[in-house]
Amino acid sequence: MPQKRLTRIIDQVQTRLALLKEMGIAELPAEKVDPVYSALRKLREEMGDCRRCELGKTRTCIVFGEGDPKSELMFVGEAPGEDEDLSGKPFVGAAGRLLTDIIELGMKIPRRKVFIGNVLKCRPPENRDPLPEEVKECRVFLERQIGIIRPRVIVALGKHAAHLLMGGNDPISRLRGNWGEFQGIPVMPTYHPAYLLYNSSGKREVWNDIKQVLQFLEKENSR
Ligand code: URA
């Protein structure tokens, strides 16, 4: 960057900080100054009132994802359901409550401290499976979210997230519990919480998968 432009930017920042100080503001929240927050905010702005696929016609809200963009842990689900479509927030319905329990009661991490996203940002009508053309249009947003957040580990919830992140087409029953990788980031595939609502026996397997994630993070953090 040319020296002149750099000096101008520094001047502008100093002027802004001086004004804030004058107004009695001593600290700025991370969302205002951290490049990870602003990159994510810009990505959301780029998405706008997305109409890149047909789901733009039927959805109520875009569900961009939420949580801590600086988190070491990211969960990726399939697509918003009815509750998410109405609220604009991921995993807030029955499956979401189960996921929240896994995170908060099982992993002992406050939900707001992880990042939760989805393969699709809009609800497919009647909660049908995502169509290939919808995934094709939408995947770039998830890929860029992951590129910005760069978590240490991703949990792929269900086959759609696992296939997008790890490739292939194997059933989730075969994939779960075995580490994969997305752009160098370890991915743990497991059953989708919605599956657990009707298949209680899968809970033990999910918990085993989650324990692998916890062990991985513990090892990483003790280095
Ligand atoms: N199921 C998902 O896959 N994602 C959500 O956000 C909610 C339910």
Ligand 1: which residues within 6 Å by Cβ? 63, 77-81, 84, 90-91, 95-96, 118, 194
Tokens of 169: 């087409």
Report the atom number in ligand 1 closest to the C-alpha of 92: 7
Q: Give the helix/strand (H/E) hosting 118.
A: strand 115-118
Residue whose structure tokens are 């009661």: 105
Q: What is the pLDDT of residues 51-103, one digit of tens each?
A: 999 999 999 999 999 999 999 999 999 999 999 999 999 999 999 999 999 99
CA of 22 to the centre of ligand 1 (A): 45
- The residue to mutate among 91, 121, 145, having the most atoms of ligand 1 within 8 angstroms of its beta carbon, is 91
pLDDT bin (cut points 50, 70, 90) of residue 6 is confident
pLDDT confidence of residue 153: 98
Q: What is the dihedral of CA 30, 34, 38, 41, to 10 degrees?
A: -40
- The residue to mutate among 84, 115, 142, having the most atoms of ligand 1 within 8 angstroms of its beta carbon, is 84
Domain ranges of the chain: 49-218
CATH of domain 49-218: 3.40.470.10
Report the atom number in ligand 1 closest to the C-alpha of 119: 3
CA of 8 to the centre of ligand 1 (A): 45
The two beta strands, 153-157 and 180-182, are unpaired
Nearest residue to 168 (alpha-carbon basis) of 154, 156, 150: 156
Tokens of 59: 């959805």
Residue 104 has what DSSP assignment? I
Chain centroid to Cα 79, Å, comes to 11
Nearest residue to 81 (alpha-carbon basis) of 68, 96, 67: 96
